[in-house]
């Protein structure tokens, strides 16, 4: 777990951030650790300056390359689902994007391994997380649909891009007792899904509809 260094980054007012947490409570987020991290993580530094003033709205926002920083509700919800069976030591994230979800995770689990296929997005995220002095994050530029097997198995895996079918590599890299949280579906219909692995196999639960960018193959330099 890491503590972010938020000195000198011009934090938005306490009231704006408290309002964000009130909204998350209304939307059914219950995990207090997650709520606390959502209140203290500076979302505005994960956006380009022109959009930073909208950072505490409950909306997904563009980060370039046709990708989006996820809406606060879904970041909180997926994090809560990931943590539902207790503390996590090793977490794989597919789709670093802006790095906001990565920053949230880094404060709640021991180590985060984050894979992104678009190099310029990864570079920006890495720089922001370096400024925040988050030291428990490892990055990889690759197609995350194959996971990151050298660093596995993971007791938590999260994907912030939607595959049409759950990649078998992600299930393979899950430890016994581990859980995978991801949206599954195409551009018309997706479901936020949780896969739990036990000694006998996997149990899949559908949570609620979701709207994510697609998980894509190949990498962009
Ligand atoms: N958690 C991010 C979400 C970004 S959107 C945030 O809140 O900012 C999803 C991200 O997944 C995009 O950055 C996209 O480039 C990335 N992505 C899509 N397919 C991928 C793949 N196969 N491997 C790794 N990253 C992928």
Name all contacts of 176-179 with Cβ < 8 Å and 24+ positions apart: 177/85, 178/153, 178/154, 179/81, 179/82, 179/84, 179/85, 179/155
Q: pLDDT at position 15, please? A: 87
Residues written for the chain = 221
Instruction: Classify residue 107 by its DSSP letter.
Output: T
CATH code for the domain defined by 10-210: 3.40.50.150
Backbone angle region of 145, left / alpha / beta, with phi > 0 → left and psi within -120 to 50 → alpha = alpha
Q: How close is the Cα of 98 to the center of ligand 1, in Å?
A: 9
98 is annotated as an active-site residue: no
Angle at 193 between CA 189 and CA 197, to 5 degrees: 150
Q: Which residue among 82, 96, 190, 220 has the greatest number of ligand 1 atoms within 8 angstroms of its CB, and so is best to mutate?
A: 96
Instruction: Reduce the DSSP state of residue 155 to 3 states and report it.
Output: strand
The answer to whether residues 18 and 153 touch, using CB atoms and an 8 Å cutoff, is no
CB distance 114 to ligand 1 below 6 Å: no
Measured at the CA of 38, the angle between CA 32 and CA 44, to 5 degrees, comes to 170
Residue nearest to atom 18 of ligand 1 (CA): 215
The full set of domain ranges for the chain reads 10-210
Question: Whole-angstrom Cα distance, residue 198 to residue 219?
Answer: 32
Token couple for 121: 């997005």
Catalytic annotation, pick one of 13, 60, 70, 217: 70
Sign of CA dihedral 43, 48, 50, 51: negative
Full strand arrangement of the beta sheet holding 154-159: 137-141, 111-116, 90-94, 154-159, 174-185, 190-198, 201-210
pLDDT (0 to 100) of residue 12: 73
The CA distance from 44 to 213, in Å, is: 21
Buried b (16+ CB within 10 A) or exposed e, 48-71: eeeebeebbeeebbebeeebbbbe
**pLDDT tens for the 221 residues of the chain, in order:** 889 888 767 767 788 889 999 999 999 999 999 999 999 999 999 999 999 999 999 899 999 999 999 999 999 999 999 999 999 999 999 999 999 999 999 999 999 999 999 999 999 999 999 999 999 999 999 999 999 999 999 999 999 999 999 999 999 999 999 999 999 999 999 999 999 999 999 999 999 999 999 999 999 99
Task: Write phi, then psi, for 80 (nearest 5 degrees).
Answer: -60, -45
């Amino acid at each position: 777990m890491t503590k972010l260094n938020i000195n000198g980054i011009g934090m938005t007012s306490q009231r704006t951030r408290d309002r964000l947490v009130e909204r998350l409570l209304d939307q059914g987020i219950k995990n207090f650790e997650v709520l606390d991290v959502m209140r203290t993580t500076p979302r505005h530094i994960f956006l380009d300056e022109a959009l930073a003033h909208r950072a505490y709205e409950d909306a997904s926002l563009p980060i370039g390359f046709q990708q989006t920083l996820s809406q606060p509700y879904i970041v909180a919800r997926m994090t809560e689902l990931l943590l539902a069976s207790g503390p996590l030591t090793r977490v794989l994230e597919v789709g670093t994007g802006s790095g906001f979800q990565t920053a949230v995770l880094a404060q709640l689990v021991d180590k985060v391994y984050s894979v992104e296929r678009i190099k310029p997005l990864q570079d920006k995220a890495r720089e922001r997380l370096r400024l925040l002095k988050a030291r428990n994050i490892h990055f990889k530029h690759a197609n995350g649909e194959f996971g990151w097997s050298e660093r596995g198995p993971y007791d938590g895996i999260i994907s912030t891009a939607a595959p049409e079918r759950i990649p078998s590599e992600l299930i393979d890299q899950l430890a016994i007792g581990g859980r995978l949280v991801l949206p599954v579906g195409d551009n018309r219909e997706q479901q936020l899904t949780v896969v739990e692995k036990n000694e006998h196999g996997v149990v899949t639960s559908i949570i609620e509809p979701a709207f994510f960018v697609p998980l894509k193959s190949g990498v962009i330099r």
